[in-house]
Amino acid sequence: MCAISLVPWVVWGFFKLITPFIDPLTREKLKFNEDMKQYVPAEQLWTDFSDGHLKFEYDHSVYWPALMELTRERREQRKARWVAGGKLVGESEDYLAGAVEHGVAGPQGQAEKPVAAAASETEAAKVADADVPAAEPEAPTAPSDVKAATLETKLEELKVDA
């Protein structure tokens, strides 16, 4: 008897042992030896399992190079989208995968402004309209302010360097 045909029995035995310890609602969801053709077309099921029609033999010398080529192509596509999106750290995974048209930077490549920044720009516009010179921002004095300013500077450098 082949090891593959033993796997379902080993799994069934394991769950038979632990079933008394599983929550009753979860236990109702456990199904064993169901006909997989109700979930997957028979053309996609192995002949070894559930009377499938797919005859599949794994050949490492064929599939491994094909897998490596596919991953290389996808990595290059994602990197090209990342570069086109402005090389931003924290870029949207959906954008990098091609699921959405625009990334974090938006349609024109301009990063979306946080709400606090938009509010401060509105306040600056009010000051400019009143012909009152805007006050210079205070230099950070608290250690946490210095760390935050240093972090922002480093992030800006990373954006430029990347």
Residue among 85, 90, 114, 83 at smallest CA distance from 100: 85
pTM: 0.41
pLDDT of residue 156: 73
How far apart are alpha carbons 33 and 11 in whole angstroms?
11
For the four alpha carbons of 36, 41, 42 and 46, in that order, the dihedral sign comes to negative
3-state SS class at 26: helix
pLDDT of residue 25: 93
- pLDDT tens, position by position, 8-45: 778 778 888 998 999 999 988 877 778 888 888 888 88
How far apart are alpha carbons 41 and 53 in whole angstroms?
9
Q: What does the chain come to in residues? A: 162
